Amino acid sequence: MWTALAIPVDNFLLMINSRLTSLERTVLRAICEMYPSDRAALENQLSAAVIGRRQNTGAGFYTDFEVPSVQSALSGERMRTGPNAKIDGLEHGMGFILWLHCGYVTTLEGYSFGEDTSSIDFEAVGCQINSSLQF
């Protein structure tokens, strides 16, 4: 299991679960900013989330969350498409999706663009959100 990195945090990151990796925090912050009408509910859910399983699939990763149902549910689409990011060790970077079930965050998916990620240490990997490539 990955562990969170010690990094400087802004006010949003102070709200978010401290067990998230630097990559997870960066991507989730970007997703919250991309969906201003969902931001408060997403931040509340993520701050209360328990991290379940993390898996490097060889084509990306999954981070599973368990969110208490006492948090406000989101409406609309079952997914929130995230940004693209430059990832150390990948020529083409990665894209991200935050999956929901019944209005609650369940999984952060990171996917490569046809590159093998099996040797990427997602706990320590450097990343930079590429705002020009966001969906």
Ranges assigned E (strand) in 4-126: 50-56, 60-66, 79-87, 94-101, 104-112
Express each pLDDT in 15-53 by its tens digit: 456 788 999 999 999 999 999 999 999 999 998 898 999
**pLDDT of 2 above 80:** no
pLDDT score recorded for residue 131: 67
Taking phi over 0 as left and psi of -120 to 50 as alpha, with beta for the rest, 72 belongs to beta
Which residue range is the domain that position 128 belongs to? Answer: 11-133
| Residue 3 lies inside a defined structural domain of this protein | no
Q: At residue 135, does pLDDT exceed 70? A: no
What's the domain count of the chain? Answer: 1
Q: Is residue 67 part of a domain?
A: yes
Report yes or no: 134 and 16 within 8 Å, Cβ to Cβ: no
